[in-house]
Amino acid sequence: MSILRIRTIGDPVLRTPAQEVPQFDESLRTLVRDMVETMYAVGGVGLAAPQVGVGLQIFTWGIEGDEGHVVNPRLSVGHEPQDGGEGCLSVPGLSYETPRMDSATLTGVDMHGRPVHRDATGLLARCFQHETDHLRGTLYVDRLEGEHRRDAMRQLRGEAFRATAERIARERDEQRGVAPRPAGDAPRATGAAASSFVRSPDDAAGPGSAFGRASGPGASRTRRGASSSGGAPRAQHGAEQTRRPGGAR
């Protein structure tokens, strides 16, 4: 299995709706296994295929011993809102309170074409919404409101975010055993260009991005817009993952 490169905000693949998987073959199964490996290696609790540069409808999750994946998913959500913070491996170093619904039902198939059906609440429901958004070209920062949204816009335009993104990219490249990308390769948003980084809610393709843990490359001690009230793991927040459940089969 391989650790794949995580794409970060500013990469067009993150803003392009993913396509349905047309063929279930060994290349698909290899991709799913590599995504699971990558998710744990970089300290994530969820990962969508566009985040590794693949525009297909696939995501994985691994939360408190509950590990899974889904291909060509469909998601329906409940009506009760839940509070909680989120972060994203593709938006490194930031985390914010993000509005989600408290329950969700996920359907689809696995990498062998077998049916997947999961009813989820709380953190798992939040993860499903977050990852489904990735498949629609939507990032969690698109769903921010009020001061959190304004702060995200400021942070994404700033040199501190750029420096953090570059540092994390270098750490991840070193972990993968490849030559680090040149300095200055991280995305930049200045002035009006920031509008391509954070969309208005009306522009979002639909209702769900990958969470990050404190462990592994990509973790930052800086948190923005974070509350101290529990909720979903944020980027750079949550218990360190000490061992991995069984991998995708």
Annotated binding site: 88, 130, 134
**Which tokens is 5 given?**
């490169």
The separation between CA 13 and the C-alpha centre of its own chain, rounded to angstroms, equals: 13
In the annotated binding site for Fe cation, the residues are: 88, 130, 134
131 in active site: yes
Q: 220 and 168 in contact (C-beta within 8 Å)?
A: yes
How far is 147 from 230, CA to CA, in rounded Å?
20
DSSP string, 12-78: GGGGSPPBPP---SHHHHHHHHHHHHHHHHTTBSEEEGGGGT--BSEEEEEETTEEEEEEEEEEEE-
Report the half-sphere exposure of 146 (CA within 13 A, side-chain side): 6
Calpha distance 36→38 (Å, rounded): 5
- Whether the CB-CB separation of 41 and 6 falls below 8 Å is answered with no
> Which DSSP symbol is given to 139?
-
Cβ proximity of 31 and 49 under 8 Å: yes
**Which is catalytic among the residues 37, 67, 97, 131?**
131
Give the C-alpha separation, 34 to 132, whole Å.
Answer: 19
Q: Which parts of 47-108 fold into alpha helices (H)?
A: none
Positions annotated as catalytic residues are 131
